[in-house]
Amino acid sequence: MPPFQPGSPLEKFFHDYLKHKPAPNQPPRRQQALGSGFIIDASGIIVTNNHVIEGADQVSVTLQDGTEMPARIVGRDSQVDLAVLEVKPKHSLPTVPLGQSDKARIGDWVLAIGNPFGLNGTVTAGIISSRGRNVEHGLYDDYIQTDAAINRGNSGGPLFNLSGEVIGINTLIYGGAGGDSIGIGFAIPADDARGIIDQLRRTGHVSRGWMGLKFQNVTNDIAETLDFHKPDGSNGKGTLISEIDPKGPAAKAGLEVGDIITRVGDQDVTGQTMPRIIASILPGAKAQLTVWHKGALKTLPITLGQSPTPPDMPPSDTHQPEHPHAALGELGVTVSSIDADARTQYALTDDQRGVLVSRVEAGSPAASRGIAEGNVITQVGQDQINTPDDFAKAVQRLHERKKTEVLLLVQDDDGLRWVPVPFLGN
Protein backbone atom coordinates (compact mmCIF):
# COMPACT_ATOMS: atom_id res chain seq x y z
CA MET A 1 0.00 0.00 0.00
CA PRO A 2 1.50 3.39 -0.97
CA PRO A 3 2.16 5.67 2.06
CA PHE A 4 -0.82 8.03 1.69
CA GLN A 5 -1.95 10.21 4.56
CA PRO A 6 -4.67 8.63 6.74
CA GLY A 7 -8.09 9.59 5.41
CA SER A 8 -6.76 10.50 1.97
CA PRO A 9 -9.13 9.69 -0.94
CA LEU A 10 -6.26 7.88 -2.63
CA GLU A 11 -5.86 5.65 0.43
CA LYS A 12 -9.49 4.53 0.12
CA PHE A 13 -9.16 4.04 -3.64
CA PHE A 14 -6.13 1.75 -3.37
CA HIS A 15 -7.66 -0.13 -0.44
CA ASP A 16 -10.85 -0.81 -2.43
CA TYR A 17 -8.88 -1.75 -5.55
CA LEU A 18 -6.53 -4.17 -3.82
CA LYS A 19 -9.28 -5.78 -1.73
CA HIS A 20 -11.71 -6.07 -4.64
CA LYS A 21 -12.86 -9.61 -5.42
CA PRO A 22 -14.32 -10.47 -8.85
CA ALA A 23 -17.91 -11.66 -9.17
CA PRO A 24 -18.38 -15.45 -9.08
CA ASN A 25 -18.98 -15.67 -12.86
CA GLN A 26 -16.28 -13.19 -13.79
CA PRO A 27 -13.01 -14.68 -15.15
CA PRO A 28 -9.90 -14.13 -13.03
CA ARG A 29 -7.69 -11.16 -13.79
CA ARG A 30 -4.77 -12.08 -16.04
CA GLN A 31 -1.38 -11.23 -14.62
CA GLN A 32 2.01 -10.77 -16.22
CA ALA A 33 5.33 -11.65 -14.65
CA LEU A 34 8.90 -10.85 -15.64
CA GLY A 35 12.14 -12.70 -15.08
CA SER A 36 15.54 -13.36 -16.60
CA GLY A 37 17.29 -16.22 -18.33
CA PHE A 38 20.25 -17.14 -20.51
CA ILE A 39 20.80 -19.11 -23.73
CA ILE A 40 22.89 -22.30 -23.51
CA ASP A 41 22.25 -23.68 -27.01
CA ALA A 42 22.33 -21.71 -30.26
CA SER A 43 19.23 -23.56 -31.49
CA GLY A 44 17.16 -21.74 -28.85
CA ILE A 45 17.50 -23.52 -25.47
CA ILE A 46 17.12 -21.16 -22.51
CA VAL A 47 17.55 -21.66 -18.74
CA THR A 48 15.57 -19.76 -16.11
CA ASN A 49 13.90 -20.32 -12.72
CA ASN A 50 10.79 -22.45 -12.39
CA HIS A 51 9.05 -19.75 -10.33
CA VAL A 52 9.43 -17.35 -13.26
CA ILE A 53 7.22 -19.50 -15.54
CA GLU A 54 5.19 -21.53 -13.03
CA GLY A 55 1.45 -21.36 -13.74
CA ALA A 56 1.97 -19.43 -16.99
CA ASP A 57 -0.59 -19.69 -19.78
CA GLN A 58 1.89 -18.27 -22.26
CA VAL A 59 5.63 -17.68 -22.13
CA SER A 60 7.56 -15.31 -24.37
CA VAL A 61 11.25 -14.47 -24.56
CA THR A 62 12.65 -11.03 -25.39
CA LEU A 63 16.27 -10.90 -26.52
CA GLN A 64 18.70 -8.08 -25.86
CA ASP A 65 18.02 -6.60 -29.34
CA GLY A 66 14.27 -6.48 -28.66
CA THR A 67 13.35 -9.60 -30.67
CA GLU A 68 10.37 -11.31 -29.04
CA MET A 69 9.51 -14.97 -29.59
CA PRO A 70 6.98 -17.40 -28.10
CA ALA A 71 8.61 -20.04 -25.91
CA ARG A 72 7.76 -23.63 -25.09
CA ILE A 73 8.44 -25.06 -21.63
CA VAL A 74 10.71 -28.06 -22.27
CA GLY A 75 10.82 -29.08 -18.61
CA ARG A 76 10.76 -27.71 -15.10
CA ASP A 77 11.72 -28.70 -11.58
CA SER A 78 10.23 -26.97 -8.55
CA GLN A 79 12.51 -28.81 -6.12
CA VAL A 80 15.60 -26.89 -7.26
CA ASP A 81 13.64 -24.10 -9.01
CA LEU A 82 14.91 -24.57 -12.56
CA ALA A 83 13.17 -24.53 -15.93
CA VAL A 84 14.29 -25.04 -19.52
CA LEU A 85 12.58 -23.19 -22.38
CA GLU A 86 12.81 -23.51 -26.14
CA VAL A 87 12.32 -20.86 -28.80
CA LYS A 88 12.48 -21.23 -32.58
CA PRO A 89 14.77 -18.46 -33.86
CA LYS A 90 15.34 -17.71 -37.54
CA HIS A 91 19.10 -17.82 -37.01
CA SER A 92 21.58 -19.19 -34.46
CA LEU A 93 21.63 -17.37 -31.13
CA PRO A 94 24.68 -16.35 -29.05
CA THR A 95 25.24 -18.63 -26.07
CA VAL A 96 27.01 -18.64 -22.72
CA PRO A 97 28.87 -21.63 -21.22
CA LEU A 98 28.19 -23.24 -17.86
CA GLY A 99 31.34 -23.05 -15.73
CA GLN A 100 32.58 -25.10 -12.78
CA SER A 101 31.05 -23.52 -9.70
CA ASP A 102 32.89 -25.91 -7.36
CA LYS A 103 36.13 -24.13 -8.29
CA ALA A 104 34.73 -20.71 -7.31
CA ARG A 105 36.26 -19.23 -4.16
CA ILE A 106 34.86 -16.92 -1.53
CA GLY A 107 35.99 -13.42 -2.49
CA ASP A 108 36.02 -14.07 -6.27
CA TRP A 109 34.45 -11.29 -8.33
CA VAL A 110 31.15 -12.07 -10.08
CA LEU A 111 28.73 -10.26 -12.38
CA ALA A 112 24.95 -10.64 -12.36
CA ILE A 113 23.03 -9.81 -15.54
CA GLY A 114 19.25 -9.71 -15.71
CA ASN A 115 15.98 -7.84 -15.95
CA PRO A 116 15.41 -6.23 -12.51
CA PHE A 117 12.16 -4.24 -12.39
CA GLY A 118 11.90 -4.63 -16.17
CA LEU A 119 15.24 -2.87 -16.82
CA ASN A 120 16.56 -5.27 -19.43
CA GLY A 121 20.29 -6.01 -19.60
CA THR A 122 21.19 -4.62 -16.18
CA VAL A 123 24.68 -5.61 -14.98
CA THR A 124 25.72 -5.55 -11.32
CA ALA A 125 29.03 -6.57 -9.76
CA GLY A 126 30.08 -8.06 -6.45
CA ILE A 127 31.93 -10.96 -4.88
CA ILE A 128 31.08 -14.46 -3.74
CA SER A 129 30.20 -13.98 -0.08
CA SER A 130 29.76 -17.64 0.81
CA ARG A 131 29.16 -21.09 -0.66
CA GLY A 132 26.99 -24.03 0.31
CA ARG A 133 24.36 -21.84 1.94
CA ASN A 134 21.31 -23.58 3.38
CA VAL A 135 18.54 -20.99 3.77
CA GLU A 136 15.81 -23.61 4.38
CA HIS A 137 14.17 -22.82 1.06
CA GLY A 138 14.06 -26.48 0.04
CA LEU A 139 15.52 -29.92 0.56
CA TYR A 140 18.39 -29.36 -1.87
CA ASP A 141 19.71 -25.97 -0.71
CA ASP A 142 23.34 -25.42 -1.73
CA TYR A 143 23.41 -21.77 -2.76
CA ILE A 144 26.20 -19.42 -3.75
CA GLN A 145 25.76 -16.20 -1.77
CA THR A 146 26.76 -12.94 -3.43
CA ASP A 147 26.63 -9.24 -2.62
CA ALA A 148 26.12 -8.31 -6.30
CA ALA A 149 22.84 -6.39 -6.38
CA ILE A 150 20.02 -8.83 -7.23
CA ASN A 151 16.46 -7.51 -7.29
CA ARG A 152 13.00 -8.62 -8.41
CA GLY A 153 13.22 -9.62 -12.04
CA ASN A 154 16.78 -10.93 -11.74
CA SER A 155 15.40 -14.42 -11.07
CA GLY A 156 16.70 -16.95 -13.56
CA GLY A 157 19.52 -14.71 -14.77
CA PRO A 158 23.19 -15.74 -14.94
CA LEU A 159 25.89 -15.13 -12.36
CA PHE A 160 29.20 -14.88 -14.28
CA ASN A 161 32.78 -15.31 -13.19
CA LEU A 162 35.45 -13.10 -14.73
CA SER A 163 36.07 -15.72 -17.45
CA GLY A 164 32.57 -15.17 -18.82
CA GLU A 165 31.27 -18.52 -17.56
CA VAL A 166 27.93 -18.95 -15.80
CA ILE A 167 28.69 -20.33 -12.34
CA GLY A 168 25.23 -19.70 -10.86
CA ILE A 169 21.56 -19.04 -11.63
CA ASN A 170 20.26 -16.10 -9.57
CA THR A 171 17.25 -17.31 -7.58
CA LEU A 172 16.68 -15.77 -4.14
CA ILE A 173 17.21 -12.50 -2.30
CA TYR A 174 17.07 -11.34 1.27
CA GLY A 175 15.45 -7.95 0.70
CA GLY A 176 14.75 -4.85 2.67
CA ALA A 177 11.52 -2.87 2.53
CA GLY A 178 9.69 -3.67 -0.70
CA GLY A 179 12.14 -6.43 -1.56
CA ASP A 180 15.06 -4.10 -2.32
CA SER A 181 18.53 -5.59 -2.57
CA ILE A 182 20.58 -5.36 0.63
CA GLY A 183 23.57 -7.21 -0.76
CA ILE A 184 22.46 -10.73 0.15
CA GLY A 185 21.48 -12.75 -2.91
CA PHE A 186 21.60 -16.47 -3.68
CA ALA A 187 22.32 -18.41 -6.86
CA ILE A 188 21.98 -22.10 -7.74
CA PRO A 189 25.51 -23.42 -8.42
CA ALA A 190 26.13 -24.39 -12.05
CA ASP A 191 27.55 -27.76 -11.03
CA ASP A 192 24.28 -28.57 -9.23
CA ALA A 193 22.18 -27.30 -12.14
CA ARG A 194 24.07 -29.01 -14.98
CA GLY A 195 22.66 -32.52 -14.46
CA ILE A 196 19.15 -31.21 -13.85
CA ILE A 197 19.25 -29.15 -17.04
CA ASP A 198 20.40 -32.20 -19.01
CA GLN A 199 17.54 -34.30 -17.63
CA LEU A 200 14.97 -31.60 -18.37
CA ARG A 201 16.20 -31.37 -21.96
CA ARG A 202 16.08 -35.15 -22.42
CA THR A 203 12.87 -36.10 -20.63
CA GLY A 204 11.05 -32.90 -19.57
CA HIS A 205 11.26 -33.82 -15.89
CA VAL A 206 13.77 -34.84 -13.21
CA SER A 207 14.13 -38.36 -11.81
CA ARG A 208 15.82 -38.53 -8.41
CA GLY A 209 17.30 -41.39 -6.46
CA TRP A 210 15.65 -42.49 -3.20
CA MET A 211 16.94 -44.51 -0.26
CA GLY A 212 13.80 -44.82 1.86
CA LEU A 213 15.06 -43.40 5.15
CA LYS A 214 14.97 -40.35 7.37
CA PHE A 215 18.10 -38.86 8.83
CA GLN A 216 19.57 -35.87 10.62
CA ASN A 217 22.90 -34.16 10.76
CA VAL A 218 25.49 -35.46 13.21
CA THR A 219 26.18 -32.55 15.56
CA ASN A 220 29.14 -32.35 17.91
CA ASP A 221 26.88 -33.34 20.83
CA ILE A 222 25.64 -36.42 18.98
CA ALA A 223 29.17 -37.39 17.95
CA GLU A 224 30.38 -37.07 21.57
CA THR A 225 27.47 -39.08 22.93
CA LEU A 226 27.98 -41.92 20.41
CA ASP A 227 31.79 -41.73 20.69
CA PHE A 228 31.90 -41.19 16.93
CA HIS A 229 35.35 -39.87 16.06
CA LYS A 230 37.69 -39.59 13.11
CA PRO A 231 41.11 -41.29 13.23
CA ASP A 232 42.67 -37.98 14.32
CA GLY A 233 40.34 -37.85 17.33
CA SER A 234 38.09 -35.04 16.11
CA ASN A 235 34.32 -35.50 16.07
CA GLY A 236 33.02 -37.42 13.09
CA LYS A 237 30.66 -36.00 10.46
CA GLY A 238 27.82 -37.70 8.64
CA THR A 239 24.09 -38.38 8.69
CA LEU A 240 22.42 -40.28 11.51
CA ILE A 241 19.58 -42.59 10.41
CA SER A 242 16.42 -42.06 12.46
CA GLU A 243 13.84 -44.06 10.47
CA ILE A 244 13.90 -46.65 7.69
CA ASP A 245 11.12 -47.58 5.29
CA PRO A 246 10.84 -51.39 5.67
CA LYS A 247 10.22 -51.76 1.92
CA GLY A 248 12.78 -49.20 0.75
CA PRO A 249 16.27 -49.61 -0.72
CA ALA A 250 17.97 -48.78 2.60
CA ALA A 251 16.28 -51.69 4.37
CA LYS A 252 17.21 -54.07 1.54
CA ALA A 253 20.83 -52.89 1.77
CA GLY A 254 20.98 -53.78 5.48
CA LEU A 255 21.06 -50.28 6.99
CA GLU A 256 19.71 -49.91 10.52
CA VAL A 257 18.34 -47.10 12.66
CA GLY A 258 21.30 -45.54 14.50
CA ASP A 259 23.79 -46.13 11.68
CA ILE A 260 25.76 -43.13 10.48
CA ILE A 261 26.41 -42.71 6.75
CA THR A 262 29.73 -40.94 6.24
CA ARG A 263 30.31 -41.33 2.49
CA VAL A 264 28.32 -42.02 -0.67
CA GLY A 265 30.74 -43.29 -3.29
CA ASP A 266 33.76 -41.00 -3.04
CA GLN A 267 31.86 -38.07 -1.50
CA ASP A 268 31.75 -37.23 2.20
CA VAL A 269 28.21 -36.45 3.34
CA THR A 270 26.50 -34.46 6.07
CA GLY A 271 22.84 -33.93 6.87
CA GLN A 272 22.84 -30.92 4.55
CA THR A 273 24.60 -32.47 1.55
CA MET A 274 23.04 -35.95 1.75
CA PRO A 275 19.71 -35.11 0.00
CA ARG A 276 21.45 -33.39 -2.92
CA ILE A 277 24.00 -36.18 -3.41
CA ILE A 278 21.41 -38.97 -3.30
CA ALA A 279 19.05 -37.03 -5.58
CA SER A 280 21.82 -36.68 -8.17
CA ILE A 281 21.99 -40.47 -8.57
CA LEU A 282 19.49 -41.87 -11.06
CA PRO A 283 16.94 -44.45 -9.85
CA GLY A 284 18.19 -47.98 -10.43
CA ALA A 285 21.85 -46.99 -10.16
CA LYS A 286 24.12 -48.64 -7.61
CA ALA A 287 26.20 -46.79 -5.01
CA GLN A 288 28.65 -47.71 -2.26
CA LEU A 289 27.88 -46.40 1.22
CA THR A 290 30.46 -46.03 3.98
CA VAL A 291 28.57 -46.60 7.23
CA TRP A 292 29.58 -46.30 10.88
CA HIS A 293 27.78 -49.20 12.62
CA LYS A 294 28.16 -49.74 16.35
CA GLY A 295 31.69 -48.41 16.55
CA ALA A 296 33.10 -49.72 13.26
CA LEU A 297 33.10 -48.59 9.64
CA LYS A 298 31.82 -50.89 6.92
CA THR A 299 30.89 -50.61 3.25
CA LEU A 300 27.43 -51.48 1.95
CA PRO A 301 26.21 -51.57 -1.67
CA ILE A 302 22.78 -50.06 -2.35
CA THR A 303 20.55 -49.80 -5.42
CA LEU A 304 18.67 -46.50 -5.42
CA GLY A 305 14.91 -46.42 -5.92
CA GLN A 306 12.67 -43.83 -7.56
CA SER A 307 11.78 -40.82 -5.41
CA PRO A 308 8.11 -40.99 -4.35
CA THR A 309 7.77 -37.24 -4.93
CA PRO A 310 6.15 -36.91 -8.38
CA PRO A 311 8.16 -34.88 -10.90
CA ASP A 312 6.92 -31.54 -12.23
CA MET A 313 5.54 -32.06 -15.72
CA PRO A 314 5.63 -29.09 -18.11
CA PRO A 315 2.33 -27.67 -19.37
CA SER A 316 1.58 -28.54 -22.98
CA ASP A 317 0.00 -25.28 -24.14
CA THR A 318 2.67 -22.62 -23.63
CA HIS A 319 3.70 -22.91 -27.29
CA GLN A 320 0.61 -23.40 -29.42
CA PRO A 321 1.06 -25.40 -32.66
CA GLU A 322 0.92 -23.82 -36.10
CA HIS A 323 -2.46 -25.43 -36.83
CA PRO A 324 -4.66 -25.34 -33.67
CA HIS A 325 -7.57 -27.25 -35.29
CA ALA A 326 -8.06 -30.26 -37.54
CA ALA A 327 -11.33 -31.58 -39.01
CA LEU A 328 -11.46 -35.25 -39.95
CA GLY A 329 -14.57 -35.85 -42.07
CA GLU A 330 -13.90 -39.59 -42.30
CA LEU A 331 -14.48 -39.83 -38.53
CA GLY A 332 -16.92 -36.92 -38.18
CA VAL A 333 -14.86 -35.15 -35.54
CA THR A 334 -12.98 -31.87 -35.17
CA VAL A 335 -10.09 -31.68 -32.69
CA SER A 336 -8.26 -28.68 -31.23
CA SER A 337 -5.05 -28.07 -29.33
CA ILE A 338 -5.41 -27.78 -25.55
CA ASP A 339 -5.01 -24.15 -24.51
CA ALA A 340 -5.58 -22.24 -21.28
CA ASP A 341 -9.27 -21.60 -22.03
CA ALA A 342 -9.86 -25.31 -22.67
CA ARG A 343 -8.15 -26.24 -19.41
CA THR A 344 -10.43 -23.87 -17.51
CA GLN A 345 -13.63 -24.90 -19.30
CA TYR A 346 -13.06 -28.66 -19.02
CA ALA A 347 -11.05 -28.70 -15.74
CA LEU A 348 -7.95 -30.19 -17.37
CA THR A 349 -4.63 -30.32 -15.55
CA ASP A 350 -1.57 -28.32 -16.60
CA ASP A 351 0.22 -31.43 -17.84
CA GLN A 352 -2.72 -32.88 -19.79
CA ARG A 353 -1.54 -34.18 -23.15
CA GLY A 354 -3.49 -34.96 -26.32
CA VAL A 355 -6.07 -33.08 -28.38
CA LEU A 356 -9.50 -31.81 -27.37
CA VAL A 357 -12.62 -32.96 -29.19
CA SER A 358 -14.21 -29.62 -30.07
CA ARG A 359 -17.00 -30.87 -32.37
CA VAL A 360 -18.70 -34.15 -33.22
CA GLU A 361 -20.98 -34.42 -36.27
CA ALA A 362 -24.43 -35.87 -35.56
CA GLY A 363 -24.74 -39.40 -36.95
CA SER A 364 -20.98 -39.67 -37.57
CA PRO A 365 -18.82 -42.72 -36.73
CA ALA A 366 -17.35 -40.85 -33.74
CA ALA A 367 -20.83 -40.01 -32.41
CA SER A 368 -21.95 -43.61 -32.80
CA ARG A 369 -19.10 -44.74 -30.52
CA GLY A 370 -19.93 -42.28 -27.76
CA ILE A 371 -17.20 -39.69 -28.38
CA ALA A 372 -18.42 -36.27 -27.27
CA GLU A 373 -17.30 -32.67 -27.19
CA GLY A 374 -14.88 -32.09 -24.33
CA ASN A 375 -13.29 -35.56 -24.55
CA VAL A 376 -9.52 -35.69 -24.90
CA ILE A 377 -7.84 -38.06 -27.36
CA THR A 378 -4.36 -38.98 -26.14
CA GLN A 379 -3.33 -41.80 -28.48
CA VAL A 380 -4.06 -43.20 -31.93
CA GLY A 381 -3.17 -46.86 -31.62
CA GLN A 382 0.29 -46.92 -30.06
CA ASP A 383 1.14 -43.37 -31.15
CA GLN A 384 1.06 -40.56 -28.54
CA ILE A 385 -0.45 -37.37 -29.99
CA ASN A 386 -0.12 -33.80 -28.73
CA THR A 387 -1.30 -31.63 -31.63
CA PRO A 388 -4.13 -31.69 -34.20
CA ASP A 389 -1.52 -32.28 -36.92
CA ASP A 390 -0.25 -35.34 -35.03
CA PHE A 391 -3.79 -36.67 -34.89
CA ALA A 392 -4.52 -36.01 -38.57
CA LYS A 393 -1.26 -37.64 -39.71
CA ALA A 394 -1.78 -40.73 -37.54
CA VAL A 395 -5.31 -41.20 -38.90
CA GLN A 396 -4.11 -40.60 -42.47
CA ARG A 397 -1.45 -43.31 -42.12
CA LEU A 398 -4.12 -45.82 -41.11
CA HIS A 399 -6.33 -44.71 -44.01
CA GLU A 400 -3.46 -45.25 -46.45
CA ARG A 401 -2.94 -48.75 -45.07
CA LYS A 402 -6.56 -49.57 -45.95
CA LYS A 403 -7.61 -49.97 -42.31
CA THR A 404 -11.37 -49.92 -41.74
CA GLU A 405 -11.23 -48.31 -38.30
CA VAL A 406 -8.97 -46.38 -35.97
CA LEU A 407 -8.34 -47.22 -32.30
CA LEU A 408 -8.40 -44.13 -30.09
CA LEU A 409 -7.47 -43.75 -26.41
CA VAL A 410 -10.11 -41.34 -25.13
CA GLN A 411 -10.27 -39.58 -21.78
CA ASP A 412 -13.60 -38.46 -20.35
CA ASP A 413 -15.04 -37.86 -16.87
CA ASP A 414 -14.84 -41.59 -16.14
CA GLY A 415 -11.17 -41.93 -17.10
CA LEU A 416 -9.37 -43.49 -20.05
CA ARG A 417 -10.92 -45.99 -22.46
CA TRP A 418 -10.04 -47.47 -25.84
CA VAL A 419 -12.59 -46.70 -28.54
CA PRO A 420 -12.50 -48.30 -32.03
CA VAL A 421 -14.01 -45.82 -34.51
CA PRO A 422 -14.80 -46.98 -38.08
CA PHE A 423 -14.03 -44.79 -41.05
CA LEU A 424 -17.05 -43.31 -42.78
CA GLY A 425 -18.59 -45.86 -45.12
CA ASN A 426 -17.32 -48.91 -43.24
Binding-site members for substrate are 51, 81, 153-155
- CA torsion sign for 268, 272, 274, 277 is negative
Q: Which residue is catalytic, options 36, 77, 81, 181?
A: 81
Closest by CA position to 44, among listed 78, 70, 65: 70
Q: Which residue is catalytic, options 36, 51, 259, 337?
A: 51
Closest by CA position to 141, among listed 113, 110, 172: 172
Residue 51 falls in the annotated catalytic set: yes
Binding residues: 51, 81, 153-155
Q: Which residue is catalytic, options 36, 129, 155, 307?
A: 155
Residue 57 falls in the annotated catalytic set: no
Closest by CA position to 101, among listed 169, 190, 197, 196: 190
**353 vs 139: CA distance, rounded Å:** 30
Residue 77 falls in the annotated catalytic set: no
**Residues belonging to the active site:** 51, 81, 155
